[in-house]
């Protein structure tokens, strides 16, 4: 059992999905580790101060400090917390999230060196990020994937007579939600029976409203559920038989792994970490970003070829099994000795 400080954004509100600090922290607690978190502060300055305060307060009790590291403002939190840990001689472990972290390697190389050079370990949840950091000379990054509890994701085969499409992500421009609406319109224009359900919170960048307006302009009905707890969207998924991932930028989204576990065939843009997660034609289909025609043709290919559909969904389930917590936790045990 380890005493862990977990530093990250632990806010829970309608504008965000759960982050690593909630998912991984919960699973580590189930294994008997004792965790202290920072921070739940909404104000950004107070959040940073709280992170630093917690590190100082528990400096003599913590075995390790886990630091969620993203490419956004959180990056600077991670750098500052890591340097405090360095000064306090605390073993800290950056957990590298976000498909756009390469922008920090390009534009903030000195800060990246400060963060990673003195880390006890650095963890990349995707092989894509591990390879990205290796290109910049960081060869000691350890790959430990995001995980799920597979028992919560019952596998079910789903014929594609009618196309009931599911999209699960936050409404943000980098995830290109409007593409999903254009795909629905194109399928209908070709005489196919199709529905679309979009699950996820409004990030606040205008994407949610613009997606609704596009659906209205294209005269297609789209079901918008807002943010749903995992158990609810997994239950909802029983009514759907296809999963699309439309993003411009990506790492290794848990929602895609969950879809693979459930038996939903996945068609995704071929960006970021997606080709590291999905082998095209084996456990999913990959198309060019922002390519409505490519998505439609891939969907039609699955619909017209039941053998390919069965092969892809079975192989996807097998791959999802490698992300089960019973396997991934052993990798964390090796780090948190």
Q: How far apart are the first and last CA of the chain?
A: 9
CATH architecture designation of domain 3-145+324-335: 3-Layer(aba) Sandwich (3.40)
| Domain boundary assignment for the chain | 3-145+324-335, 150-321
Pair 321, 155: CB distance under 8 Å: no
Can you say how many angstroms the Cα of residue 104 is from the centroid of all Cα atoms in its chain? 19
Alpha helices in the chain (DSSP H): 20-30, 44-57, 74-88, 102-107, 109-117, 127-135, 177-189, 207-217, 230-236, 254-262, 274-277, 292-304, 306-321, 325-335
C-alpha span between 128 and 161 (Å, rounded): 35
Global confidence as pTM: 0.90
Q: Which CATH superfamily is domain 150-321 in?
A: Glycogen Phosphorylase B; (3.40.50.2000)
Question: What pLDDT was estimated at residue 17?
Answer: 53
3-state secondary structure of 166: strand
CATH topology identical between 3-145+324-335 and 150-321: yes
Contact call for residues 101 and 70 (beta carbons, < 8 A):
yes
Query: Which pLDDT score is estimated for 14?
Result: 44
Q: Based on C-alpha coordinates, what's the Rg of the chain?
A: 20
CB 264 within 8 A of CB 241: yes
- The values of phi and psi at residue 23, to 5°, are -75, -55
pLDDT in tens, the chain (337 residues): 899 999 999 876 544 555 678 889 999 999 999 999 999 999 999 999 999 999 999 999 999 999 999 998 899 999 999 999 999 999 999 999 977 899 999 999 999 999 999 999 999 999 999 999 999 999 999 999 999 999 999 999 999 999 999 999 999 999 999 999 999 999 999 999 999 999 999 999 999 999 999 999 999 999 999 999 999 999 999 999 999 999 998 888 999 999 999 999 999 999 999 999 999 999 999 999 999 999 999 999 999 999 999 999 999 999 999 999 999 999 999 999 8
- Counting other chains too, the contacts that 217-223 makes at CB distance below 8 Å and 24 or more residues apart are 218/181, 218/182, 218/184, 218/185, 220/181, 220/184, 220/185, 220/188, 220/196, 221/195, 222/180, 222/181, 222/184, 222/196, 222/197, 222/198, 223/195, 223/196, 223/197, 223/198
Half-sphere exposure (Cβ direction) of 177: Cα atoms closer than 13 Å: 30
Look at phi and psi of residue 238 and say left if phi exceeds 0, alpha if psi is from -120 to 50, else beta: alpha
pLDDT in the model for residue 99: 74
Alpha carbon distance 100, 272 (integer Å): 8
For residue 110, CA distances in Å to 79, 97, 210 come to 10, 19, 38
């Amino acid at each position: 059992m380890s005493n862990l400080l977990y530093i990250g954004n632990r806010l829970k509100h309608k504008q965000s999905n759960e982050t690593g600090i909630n998912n991984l922290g919960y699973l580590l607690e189930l294994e008997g580790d004792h965790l202290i978190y920072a921070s739940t502060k909404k104000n950004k300055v107070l959040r940073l101060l709280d992170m630093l305060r917690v590190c100082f307060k528990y400096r003599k009790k913590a075995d390790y400090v886990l630091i969620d590291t993203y490419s956004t403002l959180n990056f600077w939190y991670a750098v500052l917390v890591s340097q405090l840990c360095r000064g306090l001689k605390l073993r800290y472990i950056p957990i590298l999230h976000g498909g756009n972290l390469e922008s920090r390697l390009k534009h903030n190389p000195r800060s990246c060196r400060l963060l990673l050079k003195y880390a006890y370990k650095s963890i990349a949840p995707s092989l894509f990020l591990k390879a990205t950091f290796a290109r910049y000379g960081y060869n000691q990054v350890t790959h430990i994937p995001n995980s799920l509890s597979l028992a919560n994701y019952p596998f079910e085969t789903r014929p594609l007579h009618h196309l009931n499409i599911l999209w699960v992500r936050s409404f943000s421009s980098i995830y290109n939600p409007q593409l999903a609406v254009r795909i629905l319109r194109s399928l209908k224009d070709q005489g196919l029976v199709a529905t679309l359900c979009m699950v996820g919170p409004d990030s606040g960048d205008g994407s949610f409203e613009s997606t609704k307006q596009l659906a209205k302009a294209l005269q297609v009905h789209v079901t918008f559920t807002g943010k749903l707890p995992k158990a609810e969207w997994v239950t909802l998924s029983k009514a759907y038989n296809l999963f699309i991932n439309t993003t411009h930028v990506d790492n290794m989204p848990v929602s895609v792994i969950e879809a693979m576990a459930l038996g939903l065939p996945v068609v995704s843009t071929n960006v970021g970490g997606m080709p590291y997660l999905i082998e095209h034609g084996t456990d999913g289909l990959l198309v060019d970003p922002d390519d409505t025609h490519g998505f439609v043709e891939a969907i039609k290919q699955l619909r017209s070829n039941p053998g390919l559909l069965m092969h892809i969904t079975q192989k996807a389930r097998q791959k999802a099994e490698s992300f089960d917590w019973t396997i991934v936790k052993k990798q964390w045990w090796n780090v948190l000795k």
